Structure 1
Amino acid sequence: MLIDVIDDFEIFQDIKKDWDCVYQADSQAQFFLSWIWFSGWLEMLTQPWLILAAKPEIPGASYVAFFPLKLVLIQKDEGEFDTELWMAGSSMADYTGFICLPGYEEEVIPAFSAYIQQHLVWSNFNLQNILETDTRMLLLLRSFSGENLRFINRHIEQEEDNIDNHIAPYVSLTDDWEQYLQNQVSANTRQKIRRLLRQVENSDEFYITHVNAENVESHIEILLKFWKLKWSEKKGDQCEVIIAFVRAILLHCFENNCLYLPVLWEGNRPLGAIANLVDVTQKSMLFYITGRDETVKNLPPGLILHAHAIRYAIQNGFKIYDFLRGNEQYKYYFGAKERRIQYFIAQYQDCQENKLDVRTLAAAFELTVEKHRANEFSVAEQGYRQILATQSNHPEALYGLGVLMRQKGEYHTAENLLKSLLEVQPNSIKALFGLGNLYQTQGELSKAITAYNQVLTLQPDAIAAYNNLGYSLQQQGQWEDAIACYEKALKLKPDCIEAEINLANALYAQGKLSKDKHAHYAAMNYDLATKCQELGDIKTAIVYYQQSIAMNPNLAEAQSNLNNLALVLQAQTLHETASTCDQKALSLT
């Protein structure tokens, strides 16, 4: 059995025919594994996803099974990343699993298991929301092997309202509405349903509307408004995120003719709404989300709308009305029976090396840069090194770690990393700029000047390179050339504060800065020194504090800060700190 990995949405679209064929033939398939569901959900996923697609080793063979998965990146406090494997539908799908043509299970399941263990990088595999009737998932788990692999059967119960989300009530529908009422609900419920439906249907005041092209957006917003009123406090910051996902999902389902969304009205006032997902292939209707006006006391909108939906389902030949997860009491009024949801975790007790799945590198790099910019150097270093352990020629990680090593004072390591980046990208402006900063810090001004000139050859409008080149030239006493660089930087960016200050300082050193500007530029030097101090760049802060005092000896605060920093620098024997240029250079990533 061949296993292909599909992780591109366009390729996913190309396999629709095979997917639909498998789905229609699979008796254990359910809506959250349908093409319609995933064609909407995959585009919403922020995590990397992949689909394992199995087919016989025969030329021209079609796919016979599909297993949707996603990769979730977890960062530990010390900075190390773990990759967790999850079912792709997790978080918004009440059921997960895989689909398979009948008769291929014995070949497909070992093939899926082997691929997951041998070719995917993960520490935990979360098999969440598995229906107890899905016997194939248990077979999949049993096919996993390894002494350092253990399995956890997880159960979560919502304690505050005692709702068990590992129970999924459902109603087996009969062929006739009256038969359903007679045989599957209590006499009291039967009487209430009949009375309430008659009250709505025979009333000029109450009525039910159904979703269509003209009202789909307004119907969805009515539902979501009611839902938000009930759940916003409990869901907190996640409330708007959930609403955005649900809105997009419902619109997608409507566009694909699988949304049933009735709204109960009293005049112009909506009283409640429910959204059901319609699975014509599996003859099931799934209750997905509801909302109602909690102030209504004389009429139960939920009971009316569910009864209305069940009657519609029976009249249209559906066999299952699925209440999905949660054993709320009202679901049993409709004659619901129970299925259980299972949640297993396959866990490596010793993580697989220090590598990541390549699909997670973009997210890992983004998180690492955040830590770097926050000066959490040890955490950032761990992140960069783990990325490079996975992909040794990762350009951004080579650069980021090179900058970080320079900030730590490990100049030789920093130089090697930046040179490695130049081997990967010979014209890397970031690598050349980083080397320029490194050489400037070490006092190797000729090398720094060469590096900055290489940057400017490749990018003639690189403002930071002109500013830094000017500073290196100034250190060599090449005042006119330095001033020309500062002026060029200011021509490109008139509000470049550093270039303006450096130009003023150069003119001051030559006695060319008018005295009436001394106090002004003393204050600017002081402000820049303070910013460098806040960034932890002590050496540069000292230089600008010294300049501010030279221009205005009455700046007592500058003298005080200078004295304090001199003591700090004196005690700092093991490491040197970063320059402001590094912070700017890092932002280029």
Structure 2
Amino acid sequence: MHVDVIEKLEDLRGLKDNWDRIYEIDPEAHCFLSWTWISSWFASRSLAWLVLAAREDEGGAYVAFLPIQLGTGLDRGNGFYNTIVLGGSYFAPYTGILCDPAHAGGAVSAFADHIRTLHWCSLHLDDIDRSSTRIESFLDRFPPEDFVGDRVKRPIQISDAAERIDPEIHVHVTLPADFDSFLHEKLHWRARRNIRHCLRTLEDSAALRMTHADTSTIEENLATLLSLWSKQWGCRNHGYMRYILDNSRSVLPDCFRSGDLFLPVLWQDGVAIAASAVLLDRPRKSLICFLSARDVSIRDLSPGLMLHAYTIRWAIENGFRIYDLGAGDYPHKYIFGSVSRRIERYRINTRTGRNLGERLDEHCLPFVFARIKNLYSAGDLSDAEIGCRQVLAIEPAQSEALSLYREVVASRTLWQAISSDAAEDISSDDQGVIDRAEAEKQCRATIAENPGDFDAVHRLSILLLLRGEAREAEAEIGRALELRPDSAAAHCTYGNILAAVRDFEGAVVRYERAIALEPAHAIAYNNKGNALRRLGRTEEALASYEKAIAIRPNYEQAIANRTALFDEETDMLPAIIQLSRLPPNV
């Protein structure tokens, strides 16, 4: 079986007819594996994605597709790593592999083997049906001597009614051929009575009406649904709310245009009180209640039940045989004569915990480099340098990464000089008897008891600076200066912190303030020289080093800095040799 890699939208668009043919005949497919859903999802993604496409020979049609997304994480101190997740994960309630059933065995094995050639440390198989033989065949291709596989159990959720809800349980209703059969064969007498009452109320009331979104109303109706949903659910988690709203606005209009979205809206006196986005899987005669919401202030009728009853009747009348109520075993879902199944999360991790091949995946390099620049801007020079080395190990001639690497090394050279001087402000007792973590713990305990203890606050700022937390250190030194604004040592520390985040102009101002308060402050003169050197003001830097040495003739750091200044031409960096051979996690 031959596997091609599709990574451009224009190439994915060219596969639509082939994809649709497989989608029609695959009994394990669902609407979240449709060409419309996957192409729309990937078009809206900022992260790297791939579609693996399998065929028996290079000239033949494709018989299977596996959409995947590539993620990037940072293990601080060790570098970046990559993950793979199935296409649509975290938004779609189901994922999987799309296959011509006649070729599923060979295609699934080929996909797994190809994934093992990529560079990743964790493969996330979320929202999969483990009862599927193709999923089990896929998992079998990752031998235990190289990989660790395990199920990831979703935690039980507690509903507003204090019910324990299992989010892995997905509930659906098998629909008969007509609505009367549904009422009599599926429902308890009380549920049958309530549904009949809801539908009769809808039909007889002049105040109530149900509409379906069409081309002229889809934009407005979708906005109505999302507004209702955000009011009902958004207060629980604003980040999750934005995620759902943004992705719904990106993907659902495409589903409507392709004829795969049914969007009923329930109105009362011209005001929308309930709405639902129902995705249609016509080949399998299935529909899923993907997103629904109601006005929770309505108490005199049951808009949620009315909407479900109406949608089920519409589904039966239009030939559908499965109504999927989605994730969560909420009791109200079972009044329709529903059944359930378990949809799971599974992880496959490398035994080493590192990327296969000990390198980053090349598809993620642009995203890694963007994060490296953010690290550098935030003053995290160590992780920025490691990241640059990882990028350059794959692309040694990448000019932007090489330039940033040089800048990072230059900044670290300065940082090491500043750090060694900052450490002098911590007593030998702190350095020799207890480690910095313990010293930080003691500082915080002292501050908790006495927030006005200048020495503890100042010392904490230095400890934070020494472990690279420049922004936190800046907050603490600000507090220290509020307590003692005439402290030369504190102003010098503030200068060190500003230099660590590359605000060299601000650092010079702070060093000069320290010198004004304490004219014999050798450390302030030395560090001022470092900042001036970074600003290209070499003559002023030399004068500052000379002053530091005059105050303290045996000041080794100032002497070394002055020597480095003399030796400089245009580049103060150490040679970068054989970057392509650097290990990825140095």
TM-score after normalising by structure 1: 0.72
SS at match of 2:102: coil
State the match for 1:147 in structure 2. Answer: 145
State the match for 1:408 in structure 2. Answer: 412
- Partners of 2:559 and 2:221 lie apart in 1 by 65
* Per-residue deviation, residues 242-295 of structure 1 (Å, max 9, x unmatched): 211112222221111111111111111221111101122221111001111111
2:118 maps to 1:120: yes
What amino acid does structure 1 have at the position aligned with 2:257?
E
Contact 1:354 1:386 in 2 (8 A): no
Distance 1:558 1:128, change over 3 A: same
Contact 1:132 1:339 in 2 (8 A): no
1:160 to 158, 161, 169: 158
State the match for 1:459 in structure 2. Answer: none
State the match for 2:236 in structure 1. Answer: 234
* Per-residue deviation, residues 507-540 of structure 1 (Å, max 9, x unmatched): xxxxxxxxxxxxxxxxxxxxxxx98982249997
SS at match of 2:71: strand
State the match for 1:278 in structure 2. Answer: 280
2:218 maps to 1:216: yes
State the match for 1:498 in structure 2. Answer: none
SS at match of 2:47: coil
Q: How does 1:185-224 map onto structure 2 within 5 Å?
A: 185-224=187-226
SS at match of 2:158: coil
2:371 maps to 1:372: no
1:261 to 260, 263, 277: 263
State the match for 1:340 in structure 2. Answer: 342
What amino acid does structure 2 have at the position aligned with 1:154?
V
SS at match of 1:156: coil
What amino acid does structure 2 have at the position aligned with 1:70?
Q
State the match for 2:90 in structure 1. Answer: 91
What amino acid does structure 2 have at the position aligned with 1:72?
G
Unaligned runs of 5+ in 1: 411-529, 550-554, 583-589
Contact 2:379 2:502 in 1 (8 A): no
2:391 maps to 1:393: no
Equivalenced residues, count: 458
Contact 2:512 2:524 in 1 (8 A): no
What amino acid does structure 2 have at the position aligned with 1:110?
S
- Partners of 1:33 and 1:129 lie apart in 2 by 12
What amino acid does structure 2 have at the position aligned with 1:222?
T
* Per-residue deviation, residues 107-131 of structure 1 (Å, max 9, x unmatched): 11221111111x2111010111012
Contact 1:407 1:576 in 2 (8 A): no
- Partners of 2:560 and 2:259 lie apart in 1 by 64
Unaligned runs of 5+ in 2: 415-493, 528-547, 549-554, 572-586
Contact 2:3 2:55 in 1 (8 A): yes
C-alpha displacement of 1:237: 2.8
State the match for 1:10 in structure 2. Answer: 10
SS at match of 2:384: helix
- Partners of 1:130 and 1:390 lie apart in 2 by 34
Contact 1:263 1:272 in 2 (8 A): yes
Distance 1:561 1:337, change over 3 A: farther
| Aligned-pair identity (%) | 30
Contact 1:408 1:576 in 2 (8 A): no
- Partners of 1:571 and 1:540 lie apart in 2 by 22
Query: Where has structure 1 moved over 3 Å in runs of 4 or more?
Result: 530-533, 536-549, 555-564, 567-579
2:64 maps to 1:48: no
- Partners of 1:544 and 1:313 lie apart in 2 by 72
SS at match of 2:237: helix
- Partners of 2:28 and 2:140 lie apart in 1 by 19
RMSD in angstroms over aligned alpha carbons?
Answer: 3.2
1:307 to 266, 291, 309: 309
State the match for 1:414 in structure 2. Answer: none
- Partners of 1:548 and 1:123 lie apart in 2 by 49
C-alpha displacement of 1:406: 2.1
C-alpha displacement of 1:82: 1.2
- Partners of 2:257 and 2:510 lie apart in 1 by 68
Higher relative contact order (CA 8 A, sep 6+): 2
TM-score after normalising by structure 2: 0.73
What amino acid does structure 1 have at the position aligned with 2:112?
S
- Partners of 1:395 and 1:36 lie apart in 2 by 38
Distance 1:377 1:268, change over 3 A: same
Distance 1:373 1:79, change over 3 A: farther
- Partners of 2:410 and 2:515 lie apart in 1 by 33
SS at match of 1:264: strand
Contact 2:378 2:501 in 1 (8 A): no
- Partners of 1:543 and 1:228 lie apart in 2 by 46
SS at match of 1:408: helix
C-alpha displacement of 1:40: 1.2
State the match for 2:524 in structure 1. Answer: 565
- Partners of 1:130 and 1:283 lie apart in 2 by 20
C-alpha displacement of 1:79: 5.2
